[in-house]
């Protein structure tokens, strides 16, 4: 993890929160050379027992691709890398995740 974070090809992108979610502070650290992503969760809201956070890959002319589902606020976590992603997004979904995002629960996006 230390090597990944200090790799000059790794870049951090702050989440652009949706209105009402300005209290969330989440960054994605991405590296297309080694095809890895990490989320840095600095400020997140505790979820209800029936909810999960879910990461999505958004590509032009493609339906959103469901990626990692998680419930806890672990500060640094490796998440899936999806080649060709223009934007990653995070939503709050029913526990266990969804096949398509619940847009009214969109927390924010990371534009690459």
| Percentage of the chain exceeding pLDDT 90 | 96
pTM of the model: 0.95
Res 28: pLDDT = 98
| pLDDT of 45 higher than 90 | no
60-67 own/partner pairs: CB under 8 Å, 24+ apart: 60/86, 63/100, 64/89, 64/100, 64/101, 66/97, 66/98, 66/99, 66/100, 66/101
Res 14: pLDDT = 98
Please state, rounded to an integer, the average pLDDT across all residues of the chain: 96
Res 98: pLDDT = 98
91 pLDDT tier (thresholds 50, 70, 90): very high
Res 73: pLDDT = 85
d(CA 34, CA 20): 34
| pLDDT of 41 higher than 90 | yes
């Amino acid at each position: 993890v230390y090597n990944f974070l200090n790799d000059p090809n790794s870049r951090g992108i702050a989440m652009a929160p949706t209105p009402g979610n300005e209290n969330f502070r989440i960054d994605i650290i991405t590296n297309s050379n080694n095809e890895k992503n990490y989320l840095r969760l600095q400020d997140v809201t505790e979820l209800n027992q029936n909810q999960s956070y879910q990461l999505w890959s958004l590509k032009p002319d493609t339906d959103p691709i469901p990626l990692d589902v998680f419930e806890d606020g672990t500060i640094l976590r490796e998440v899936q890398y999806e080649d060709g992603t223009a934007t990653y997004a995070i939503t709050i979904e029913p526990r266990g995740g969804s096949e398509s995002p619940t847009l009214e629960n969109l927390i924010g996006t990371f534009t690459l």
